Amino acid sequence: MHYNLLLEEMRRSANVGVDVATCGCVLRMTHGLPCAREIVQYRPQHQSIPLLAIHLIWQKLNDLPQQLSQCTHDPEQEISFFRQKFDEA
Ligand SMILES: [Zn+2]
């Protein structure tokens, strides 16, 4: 999953520094995830990677069933949908 990709990129960041050419920014371009060069910039402040740096697609529930996105945004319907999925699980 993307955690492994990020971990690999964090390992890579130790050798990459802030140079774009060295980094290549593949992870940023292909997955919308922070690449080694970006991760290096968070390190000095002991900052965690901001959620904004993660592409929107990873912030969404990527296995959200199609049925939900097609429903009419009726709160009752959404609640009963989740209740049904919860009961099934
Ligand atoms: Zn990069």
Query: pLDDT tens digit string along 32-87?
Result: 889 999 988 887 777 777 877 887 767 665 555 555 445 455 666 666 766 777 67
For residue 1, the CA-to-ligand 1 centroid distance in Å is: 19
DSSP class of residue 50 equals: P
Sign, Cα dihedral of 12, 25, 27, 65: positive
What's the pLDDT at 35?
A: 93
Q: What are phi and psi of 65, to 5 degrees?
A: -60, 145
* Amino acid 58: pLDDT: 72
Tell me if the pTM is above 0.85: no
Rounded to the nearest angstrom, the distance between the alpha carbon of 64 and the centre of ligand 1 is 30
Calculate how far, in angstroms, residue 84's C-alpha sits from the geometric centre of ligand 1: 43
Q: Structural domain boundaries of the chain?
A: 2-88
pLDDT beyond 50 at 6: yes
Looking at residue 79, its amino acid is: I
Instruction: Quote the ligand 1 centre to 70 CA distance (angstroms).
Output: 36
d(CA 78, CA 89): 17
How many other C-beta atoms lie within 10 A of the C-beta of residue 25? 16
Summarised one tens digit per residue, pLDDT across range 38-52 is 988 887 777 777 877
